[in-house]
Each structure stands twice: as structure tokens, then as C-alpha cells.
């Protein structure tokens, strides 16, 4: 399989995007150091945190009733399988009641368009999420009905395009008196404190279904200091194993995954549940058996080996002058393999120090009819300075002895 196809499969198994669209989006990237972009703006991550909390208990054929996730650096696209998940998001829209009390998320706007509903958060609209529905589902009509219901209670909707933003509070001047009367501090939005974790979970929503077919997942949150800590509950079918090493492997993966650190004393297993904690207990993964006794459906081809290949990244070493060179190392490694890659990694590190773009590959071997174990790859060259330059030629990595570890190859492109 081509290296490009591995990257495509990894992303699709995390987001459930279409094959054609995933190939196009990955082809537009400069390199593969970030196959799933993170939310660059704070309002973007904060909006996604609000959405994850609102949708966290939802159920459907797909996790939380979301059939597809399309992540971008400055916005997110969610394709809902029905109008039911949209109903869980409507309470987030701000409004003012007859007592002039405000409800909902401050500075959140909702605009209905031909494609669906666009949510904007922040005074400049830096947070943006587009909600799409299945064919025949009119999200604009749902939003209009919600507005009519709010106005019918004699409340004022504050999510429309023409609603003015609240005035920016003026900074208070320090009092000249030595003793001042203490006032209660303004409550802090917990979604504004380190919202990156919730954003990373939402952008990789299909990871849980890829690890265990037929599983159900919910997300709940609770206060943790001034922010939130999250709990992911996985409900598996009766024929699955509660403990799965791939949970820690997937969450610790730093290129395609969220790059979380497993807590040393955060693993507790029993016959009824398996609990794992990550990132200083900011994330808890609880795995239990589902009450549904039906067997899991067979996973499709798009989820055939989501954990057979994971990516890790190594930054180039600094030179004598303290400035890093323009090299890049990207590894594709089987987490279940036990073959050493020390020689390959040392050579790659030397090339990176010289400023070369270097790719370290490890592939699973396949047994041929005559009993020998072979592995074949095609070389994909990608230059850091010329993203569109790509030359592909057949490249054979050689043979491994029967029963031995799969071979490892190093492919290097120019500066």
C-alpha cells in the first residue's frame, strides 16, 4: 500500500470523511506532520467544547449522531445523521427572558443557509462550526421553529445576525484608597479554560468506533478547578474485551492523535469495567459492557487497520549555532511490532541533521505462496519546500527470514 493511502486511512478512521475528499485535503498539506489540524483560535476550541458537552449524551447509528467530521484550522464541519442532535444544540443559543436575564452562550450566533446552519462564536466570529444534515432534512426550518417558540414565550432571541454584541467592559481603574471593598469575581466560562482537549476529542470522534465495532460512546464533563475534566464511557458488546491497549496507544499518538499522556497510577481493571486516566486525570476513559446482547457488525474496509499504523514525529536536531535545520522525520510504525528500528532511526537522525527530508517506514510482512516473507512498498517523495513535487517509483524493501521481524526502510528526499 502507498504511504499516501496509509495517511488517508488513518484520517478517515478518525473522522469518517469520504475517500475522495480526504485525498484532496491531505494533498493540499505541506507535509504530514499534522494530518488532522487543530483549532488555532481560542474561540474555535471553546465552541467545539460547548458542542461536545451538548451532544455528549446523544445516541444514534454513529457516535453522538454525527456521521462525519471535517476539521480545519479555522472551522469545523459536522454532518448530523438526523435533526435530533440539532435539538440538543438549540439550548446553547442565547436569549433574554422577560426579567432581562440572559441564557445560553454569550456571543453565539446561528445563521441558516443553503448548506445548513453555521454557528459563530466570539465578537469577531473566530469560532465557526457548520452543521449539515442528511438529504431532505431542513435545518433552517428547525431553527425558524425554535425562534418562533422563544418569541412565543415573550423572550428575545440574541443569536441572530442583527443582534448587537454586548459592549466590551471597560477596564477598572485601581482604587487610590488602601482598603477597598472586596467584590465577587466574575465567573469564568469553564469551556474557555484549556478547551483543546474537548476540541481534540470532537475532531477525532470516530476513533472509538474504529477501535471496537458496534461500540457506543458518550462524553460527560464536570468542573475541574476553573476548567472541565471529561469522561468517555465506552459500551462494548459482550464478545469484546474490556481492556484494550490500543486506547492508550491511540490517545498517546502525537501526530494523528491527541498526544495525551497516560497517568502512571490511572489504570484500574476488573471483570465489570476498565478505567484509564490521561493528562493528569483531565480525561477518564471508562469501558463497560453494553446491555445490548447483539453481536458487533463487521467493520468496513475503511476501518480495517486504524491501529495497525500510527505516526510519530521527530524534530531535527539543532546545529552548532543553535538554529534548527530544515529537515523533517516522519515515521510510520506498527505498535504491535517488536523489531528494532535503531539503525534506521540513527541514520534518519543523521540525515535530518544535514537538513534532509527523511521518511522512516516500517511495514508488516506478508507471506507469499512459496513460504518466504516479503514486503514491498512504493516510494513517495515529498519536499518541504515544494509541496506539489512528488515522484513515485517502485521500491522493494527486501526480504525477511521466515518468522523474523518485518523489514524497515528509509526513504530520503532532498533539502
pTM value is 0.73
Low-confidence winner among 30-44, 120-134, 383-397 (lowest mean pLDDT): 383-397
Please list, residue by residue across 155-187, b when 16 or more beta carbons sit within 10 angstroms of its beta carbon and e when fewer do. bebbbeeeeeeeeeeeeeeeeeeeeeeeeeeee
| Residue with the three cell numbers 445516541 | 59
Classify residue 230: in a domain, yes or no. Answer: no
At residue 72 the predicted structure's pLDDT band, cuts being 50, 70 and 90, is very high
175, 203, 231 — which closes off a domain? Answer: 203
- Number of structural domains, the chain? 2
How far is Cα 71 from Cα 196, in angstroms, rounded to an integer?
Answer: 13
Classify residue 172: in a domain, yes or no. Answer: no
**pLDDT, tens digit (0-9, with 9 covering 90-100), for 247-300:** 998 898 888 889 899 999 999 999 899 999 999 999 999 999 988 655 545 544
How far is Cα 266 from Cα 287, in angstroms, rounded to an integer?
Answer: 14
Is residue 53 pLDDT above 90, yes or no?
A: yes
Mean pLDDT confidence for 195-214: 92
What residues pair up with 311 in beta bridges, in sequence order?
332
Contacts of residue 317, Cβ cutoff 8 Å, sequence gap at least 6: 324, 325, 349, 352, 353
Whether 199 and 346 map to the same domain: the answer is: no
What angle in degrees, to the nearest 10, is found between the helix axes of 196-203 and 42-55? 60
Classify residue 181: in a domain, yes or no. Answer: no
**pLDDT, tens digit (0-9, with 9 covering 90-100), for 16-40:** 999 999 999 998 887 777 889 999 9
- Whether residue 175 contacts residue 183, with contact meaning beta carbons closer than 8 Å, is answered with no
User: What pLDDT does residue 75 have?
Assistant: 96
Cβ neighbours, 10 Å, residue 372: 12
- Whether residue 11 contacts residue 36, with contact meaning beta carbons closer than 8 Å, is answered with yes
Residue 136: which domain range? 37-165+190-203
Classify residue 271: in a domain, yes or no. Answer: no
User: What pLDDT does residue 3 have?
Assistant: 72
Mean pLDDT confidence for 56-85: 93
User: Between these two residues, 142 and 388, which has the higher pLDDT value?
Assistant: 142
| Residue with the three cell numbers 541514520 | 347
At residue 413 the predicted structure's pLDDT band, cuts being 50, 70 and 90, is very low
User: What pLDDT does residue 411 have?
Assistant: 43
Classify residue 177: in a domain, yes or no. Answer: no
Classify residue 62: in a domain, yes or no. Answer: yes
What residues pair up with 395 in beta bridges, in sequence order?
377
Mean pLDDT confidence for 178-185: 47
Is residue 367 pLDDT above 70, yes or no?
A: no
Whether 194 and 319 map to the same domain: the answer is: no
How far is Cα 131 from Cα 301, in angstroms, rounded to an integer?
Answer: 27
Classify residue 343: in a domain, yes or no. Answer: yes
| Residue with the three cell numbers 421553529 | 145
Closest by Cα among 176, 283, 156 to 231: 283
Whether 59 and 198 map to the same domain: the answer is: yes
Classify residue 76: in a domain, yes or no. Answer: yes
How far is Cα 341 from Cα 336, in angstroms, rounded to an integer?
Answer: 13
Amino acid at each position: 500500500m502507498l504511504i499516501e493511502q496509509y495517511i488517508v486511512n488513518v484520517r478517515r478512521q478518525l473522522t469518517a470523511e469520504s475517500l475522495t475528499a480526504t485525498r484532496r485535503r491531505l494533498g493540499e498539506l505541506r507535509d504530514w506532520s499534522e494530518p488532522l489540524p487543530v483549532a488555532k483560535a481560542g474561540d474555535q476550541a471553546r465552541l467545539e467544547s460547548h458542542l461536545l458537552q451538548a451532544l455528549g449524551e446523544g445516541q444514534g447509528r454513529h457516535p453522538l449522531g454525527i456521521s462525519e467530521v471535517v476539521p480545519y484550522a479555522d472551522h469545523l464541519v459536522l454532518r448530523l445523521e438526523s435533526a435530533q442532535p440539532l435539538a440538543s444544540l438549540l439550548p446553547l443559543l442565547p436569549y433574554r427572558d422577560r426579567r432581562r436575564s440572559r441564557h445560553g452562550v454569550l456571543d453565539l450566533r446561528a445563521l441558516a443557509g443553503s448548506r445548513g446552519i453555521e454557528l459563530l462564536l466570539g465578537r469577531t466570529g473566530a469560532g465557526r462550526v457548520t452543521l449539515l444534515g442528511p438529504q431532505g432534512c431542513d435545518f433552517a426550518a428547525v431553527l425558524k421553529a425554535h425562534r418562533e417558540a422563544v418569541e412565543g414565550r415573550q423572550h428575545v432571541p440574541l443569536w441572530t445576525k442583527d443582534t448587537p454584541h454586548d459592549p466590551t467592559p471597560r477596564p477598572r481603574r485601581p482604587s487610590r484608597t488602601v482598603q477597598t471593598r472586596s467584590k465577587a469575581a466574575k465567573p469564568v466560562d469553564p469551556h474557555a479554560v484549556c478547551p483543546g482537549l474537548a476540541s481534540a476529542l470532537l475532531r477525532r470522534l470516530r476513533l472509538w468506533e474504529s477501535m471496537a465495532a458496534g461500540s457506543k460512546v458518550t462524553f460527560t464533563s464536570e468542573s475541574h478547578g476553573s476548567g472541565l475534566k471529561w469522561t468517555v464511557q465506552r459500551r462494548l458488546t459482550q464478545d469484546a474485551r474490556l481492556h484494550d491497549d490500543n486506547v492508550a496507544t491511540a490517545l498517546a499518538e502525537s501526530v494523528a492523535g491527541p498526544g495525551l499522556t497516560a497517568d502512571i497510577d490511572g489504570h484500574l481493571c476488573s471483570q465489570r469495567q476498565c478505567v484509564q486516566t490521561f493528562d493528569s486525570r483531565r480525561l477518564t476513559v471508562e469501558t463497560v459492557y453494553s446491555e445490548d446482547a447483539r453481536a458487533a457488525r463487521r467493520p468496513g474496509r475503511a476501518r480495517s487497520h486504524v491501529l495497525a499504523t500510527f505516526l510519530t514525529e521527530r524534530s531535527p536536531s539543532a546545529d552548532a549555532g543553535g538554529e534548527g535545520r530544515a529537515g523533517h522525520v516522519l515515521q510510520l510504525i506498527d505498535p504491535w511490532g517488536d523489531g528494532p528500528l535503531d539503525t534506521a532511526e540513527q541514520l534518519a537522525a543523521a540525515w535530518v541533521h544535514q537538513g534532509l527530508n527523511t521518511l522512516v517506514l516500517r511495514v508488516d510482512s506478508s507471506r507469499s505462496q512459496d513460504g518466504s516473507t516479503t514486503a514491498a512498498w512504493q516510494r513517495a517523495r515529498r519536499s518541504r519546500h515544494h509541496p506539489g513535487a512528488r515522484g513515485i517509483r517502485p521500491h522493494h524493501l527486501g526480504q525477511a527470514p521466515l518468522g523474523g521481524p518485518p523489514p524497515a526502510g528509509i526513504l530520503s528526499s532532498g533539502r
